[in-house]
Amino acid sequence: MSELLDLAGEAGKLDAADGLAAVRERFVLDDVTYLDGNSLGALPAHVPDRVADVVRRQWGELRIRSWEESGWWTAPERIGDRIAPLVGAAAGQVVVGDSTSVNVFKALVAAVRMAAQDGGVGADGGVGADGPGRDEILVDATTFPTDGYIAESAARMTGCTLRPVAPAEVPSALGDRTAAVLLNHVDYRTGRLHDLPALTAAVHAAGAYAVWDLCHSAGALPVGLDEHGVDLAVGCTYKYLNGGPGSPAYLYVRRDLQARFDSPLPGWNSHAEPFGMRPGYEPASGALRGRVGTPDILSLLALEAALDVWDEDAVSVAAVRAKSLALTDFFLRCVGEYVPGGRVESVTPAAHAERGSQVALRCEDAGDVMKRLIERGVVGDFRAPDVLRFGFTPLYVGFADVERAARVLAQTLDAAG
């Protein structure tokens, strides 16, 4: 009992000293301990009124005029510039729209096409005058399934060979045939943070292009796209950016590559003269080349409202990262104190440099355990076959939440026998 009181008391002290504690009030939360923000972020409290204005006034009253008067037409790049500092990018390099899967497809095919422009293999797999060329795509072997599906399709479309490779093995797998490498910044199952700077440098040293999936890192930790010279990156906005279910994804195209970015989906929104209605396609300049069709305005503007949390509270990514590590450290400590030995095993790295903003625990009956946890008011999620995932969104998760989650986990496992 004393250990329980000690950890609960310590959680209270940590919450009292938390510089981000006040941000929690800007979200719609209840008595549930919500540790699934790595799947769907909580609702920022001001978003419903903003969306109501979009529906009732901008759509209901202004109607077609809102494309200009309400800034609908420029929303993809305007909101991209709001996301840019959260992933370490200067303005003019991020465009918002479509899903993560669609953006992975655009980025990966464009990367292979740029490799073809560099010499050697053509984008259809034909051997160029300089020899066998670059006809291989490396993909993270532990990737979220959709990235693998898209990579396989992109490889078939471009005539490339697809090679699944564990991120740690990428440097040794690279060669003069490698055109592009698709990697996840954070492993969605284990929460392992991969070394973006070192892996990007290795890809560049081999003459290939690096495409990064930031779904589980953007809004939770520093990314440094510009600093580390990442070529292309994609990410969703409904996790740590709290944009809402199905909110649009984003695409980053490094500034010096934008003139060469050849999208496999050249829609009218990315045309240099979208209202010219010409039969021939001429790409717009800049990151706008990443646009395709008419943007989903309702979701897009809900996301724009959600991003106000970062501006109005002057929240820094560095502060979020510091709290994330403190939360996950404390959770692992509480689990170690409360849960009987051998009942769960952390598959999330202990080293801060290798940890994202989630903790994954291997548990023999994980599916049933998570159901019981949710019934008891602790919401995480389950990944087959045996992983309990707990995501820690520092903007609204506190240390008392962490202590309660570990305590309820121990009680749940004890009741299960």
Question: Which residue, 91, 75, 73, is CA-closest to 83?
Answer: 91
Supply the pLDDT for residue 399.
98
Supply the pLDDT for residue 312.
73
- Sequence-distant (6+) residues with CB within 8 A of 96 are 75, 76, 77, 79, 80, 83, 237, 248, 249, 250, 251, 295, 300, 303
| pTM for the model | 0.95
Helix (H, G, I), strand (E, B) or coil at 167: helix
Catalytic sites, residue numbers? 144, 213, 238-239, 389
Q: Verify cis geometry, omega within 30 degrees of 0, for the bond prior to 385.
A: yes
What are phi and psi for residue 391, nearest 5 degrees? -100, 140
The low-confidence residues of the chain, meaning pLDDT below 50, are: 120-131
Supply the pLDDT for residue 417.
60
Supply the pLDDT for residue 121.
41
Supply the pLDDT for residue 415.
82
Supply the pLDDT for residue 234.
98
Supply the pLDDT for residue 135.
96
